[in-house]
Chains A and B, each alone.
Chain A
Amino acid sequence: MDSALAVHRLHFAFTVTFHYLFPQLTMGLALLIVILKTVALRTGDEHYNQAARFWVKIFAINFAMGVVTGIPMEFQFGTNWSRFSKAAGGVIGQTLAMEGVYSFFLESTFLGLFVFGEKRLSPRMHWFSSVLVCAGSWLSGFFIIATDAWMQHPTAYKTGANGEILLDSFWALVGNPWILWQYLHNMIGAVVTGSLVMASIGAYYLLAGRFTEHARVFVRVGVIAGTLASIAMLFPTGDGQGKMIAEHQPVTLAAMEGLFDTTAGAPVVLVGQPDTDKMELDNPIVVPKALSFLTYRRWEAEVKGLKDFPRDQWPDNIPLLYYSYHIMVGIGTMLIALMLICVWAMWRSRLYGNRPLLWALMLAMPFPYIATTAGWMTAELGRQPWLVYGLMRTADGASSRVSAANGLFTLIGFMGIYLLLGILFLFLVHREIDHGPAATAISEGALQGAIQ
């Protein structure tokens, strides 16, 4: 691999991975805050309002991090991927520009009102601003997914005389069939993260014996939402996403599953290490015939293996792709199990005093983040060696005039700044968690801290 190309890829991968730690929480939390505000408005239970205020502070810190780390993403399309931008900007520029015009203005306006305006707005208007913040962030997610979906499964284009990619149909672009499952899978993944974080902090307070009334609200809302969302990650959204990959990127499916030989009645591999030199899977533990059934709903269906695809079509890092996919599925399965146990315990009124279960909930916090990151790595490594699937190779999209040295310079710069951001973030969130929800009067939220 050409080293400038490697630097450009790592540059984007690093900054986007760090960036997405924040939106995945804010998009999920936005929905949960709407739920808390709705319950508060309908029942008049002040605990829900205080819970919402506490989470708005966590939300605001995350949102600020998401904004400052998000701006570099848009810029990098031009700075590091200029040949891709020149060729495809007329298509994906549509969705990226729409994100700016339709979501960012909406979000930033109503976040200001939502965080700063509780004293000035009526309860109903304040509730409404929370709905609009949520709508803005979910709309933003849609435009990004539509952009990625076009790179995964390009539609709505024709090729011009000089090889440029021309938009052919706007509606086909925003109605790309790839969008539906990927969008739902991604957004519900954000709800899993939001729910688990909420339940985990609630479990921490219960274990520590602090703010127990609020903690029960956190655990209750987090566990119920987390159960529904984590199941929906598997079915129907994960299943639907998998079928799209089987249909349109069969070589990716084979690589994700570590399937080298075309097999009738292909197994699902639980554990094993794909060896791409010897073209076999070491130390496999498998569920026989499951892959055929999951993919085609027939136990004996034939699934094509990697050996039957030309080598230049293979994703270029099969072990990493394979592990990412297995980590995502493995964690997702464990989260479903944990959520079901918690729901069962809650139903039997045994959750809030069950210390082992609360410990498990508290420690679960990092795992949805890992699963989400691994899921995105699966999607993007699975798209390789293509930048736009079947249309433009990754090697042809990077900026030709930006040297490896300049790329590395800025990559190291980003690493330094993001290290600082990460430390500050943890420090501030820790402070908010330490202050807790109880004493929060109608406050001015975390952003307001800056202004008082």
Chain B
Amino acid sequence: MITTVWFCLVAIMVAGYVVLDGFDLGAGIIHLFVAKTDQERRQVLRSIGPVWDGNEVWLLAAGGTLYFAFPALYAAAFSGFYLALMMVLWLLILRGISIELRSHIESPIWRPFWDLLFGGSSALLALLYGAALGNVIRGVPLDKDGYFFLPLWTNLLPGNNAGIVDWYTLLVGAASFVALAIHGCYWVAYKTNGDLQQRSRSFGQNCWWALVAFIAAITFFSFRLQPNLNTQFEEYPWGYVFPALGVAGLAGMYHYAGKKQDLAAFLSSCLFLVGMLTSATFGVYPYVLPSNVEPTAGLTISNASAAPYGLYIGLAWWIPGMILAGVYSVFVYRHFAGKVSD
């Protein structure tokens, strides 16, 4: 019971991270395409400037929560996805400094260099996060001690011999890339005016159909690759509420962006991301990391969790702590509310 509670709390933290850092990653992805002049690029950066590192804190807090609630999962996943995670770290570092350093010097060499790095690292991070989700759905070759190690790629097939990147995880990565790009478009449109706003909005609209196609494809293949998804949705049909939320969000994105209601479109995109992530987590439950070789070897909420005493104690500090964090977030978003100035 308490392990299911923590499963949900970790899922909330991850969803919080994806929704929040997702829009500044998305802003990074579209930055080179929708912002043409130096002034427009500054506007994109200003739209995320005061909040992006707070958004990234969600990754650290989610990681910490995962570590303490499911130490065996943290140990297995982090050492097993070693190479991909190290690349995530390098990209986070390069992205962080490109945001911070870009405007220190006004020069036609300095700024475009950091712009390119900002765009490239954001795009690769979105791809890698998607691929990571794909790996969790597909499963990994866990051994009897509960560890594994995946090379970056093998033959690109999602079979027993799969690497971190195969055609399925690449597909999920591409879907994540498009989803976060659109998420970023709606955010930038919401925070800016003029040409930049127009371009962001229509860029988001143009990508929407691609997103629908990707989502349809990964839904189809996920159910074929991960039998636990079928079991879960057959056994607990109320679980369809999660994909329904995702679809509602997807529809809302198109509808509101068409009516130029950028905030509503952005919130729909949040709903869509939450719906998709919760569908995936609901679908793999009670696994936290399934095996793609031997189903019984998978890590579940019971064999990967910390002892109950720590989990109960954890609730006592986690809940007030996250309420406080929520208050800070509301405070800072309200403080920097409204359009960024030119």
Interface residue tally of chain B, by bracket?
35 or more
**Interface residue from A402, A446, A452 paired with B149 (Cβ < 8 Å):** A402
**A450 and B59 contacting across the interface, CB-CB below 8 Å:** no
List residues of chain B with CB within 8 A of the CB of A116: 49-50, 336
Query: How distant is A422 from chain B, measured CB to nearest CB, in Å?
Result: 12
Interface string of A385-424 (1 = CB under 8 A from B): 0000000000000011111001001100110010001001
Interface residue tally of chain A, by bracket?
35 or more
Interface string of A88-104 (1 = CB under 8 A from B): 11110110111111101
List residues of chain A with CB within 8 A of the CB of B309: 166-168
Q: Given the interface contacts A79-B85, A101-B321, A166-B307, does A69 sit within 8 Å of B93 by beta carbon?
A: yes
List residues of chain B with CB within 8 A of the CB of A424: 97, 101
Q: Given the interface contacts A64-B96, A89-B74, A402-B82, does A117 sit within 8 Å of B57 by beta carbon?
A: no
Interface string of A66-88 (1 = CB under 8 A from B): 01110110110111101101111
Tell me what chain A mostly uses at the interface: helix, strand, loop, or mixed: helix
**A96 and B72 contacting across the interface, CB-CB below 8 Å:** no
**Interface residue from B67, B94, B99 paired with A93 (Cβ < 8 Å):** B67
Compute how far the CA of A444 lies from the CA of B297 in the bound complex, rounded to whole angstroms: 54
B221 at the A interface (CB under 8 A): no
Tell me what chain B mostly uses at the interface: helix, strand, loop, or mixed: helix
Interface 9-residue window, one of B203-211, B266-274, B326-334: B326-334
**A451 and B45 contacting across the interface, CB-CB below 8 Å:** yes
Query: How distant is B274 from chain A, measured CB to nearest CB, in Å?
Result: 20
Compute how far the CA of A200 lies from the CA of B298 in the bound complex, rounded to whole angstroms: 57
Query: How distant is A26 from chain B, measured CB to nearest CB, in Å?
Result: 14
Cβ < 8 Å to A, chain B residues 48-98:
49-51, 53-54, 56-57, 59-65, 67-69, 71-72, 74-80, 82-83, 85-86, 89-90, 92-94, 96-97
Interface 9-residue window, one of A106-114, A336-344, A367-375: A106-114
**B335 and A120 contacting across the interface, CB-CB below 8 Å:** yes
Cβ < 8 Å to A, chain B residues 288-326:
306-307, 309-310, 313-314, 317-318, 321-322, 324-325
Residue numbers of B with Cβ under 8 A of A are 42, 45-46, 49-51, 53-54, 56-57, 59-65, 67-69, 71-72, 74-80, 82-83, 85-86, 89-90, 92-94, 96-97, 99-104, 145-149, 306-307, 309-310, 313-314, 317-318, 321-322, 324-325, 328-329, 331-332, 335-336
16 inter-chain pairs at a CB distance below 8 angstroms, sorted by A residue, are: A85-B67, A86-B146, A89-B74, A91-B310, A93-B74, A97-B318, A116-B336, A117-B335, A399-B75, A401-B79, A401-B147, A447-B100, A450-B49, A451-B46, A451-B49, A452-B42
Residue numbers of A with Cβ under 8 A of B are 61, 64, 67-69, 71-72, 74-75, 77-80, 82-83, 85-91, 93-94, 96-102, 104-106, 108-113, 116-117, 120, 160, 164, 166-168, 170, 399-403, 406, 409-410, 413-414, 417, 421, 424, 428, 431, 446-452
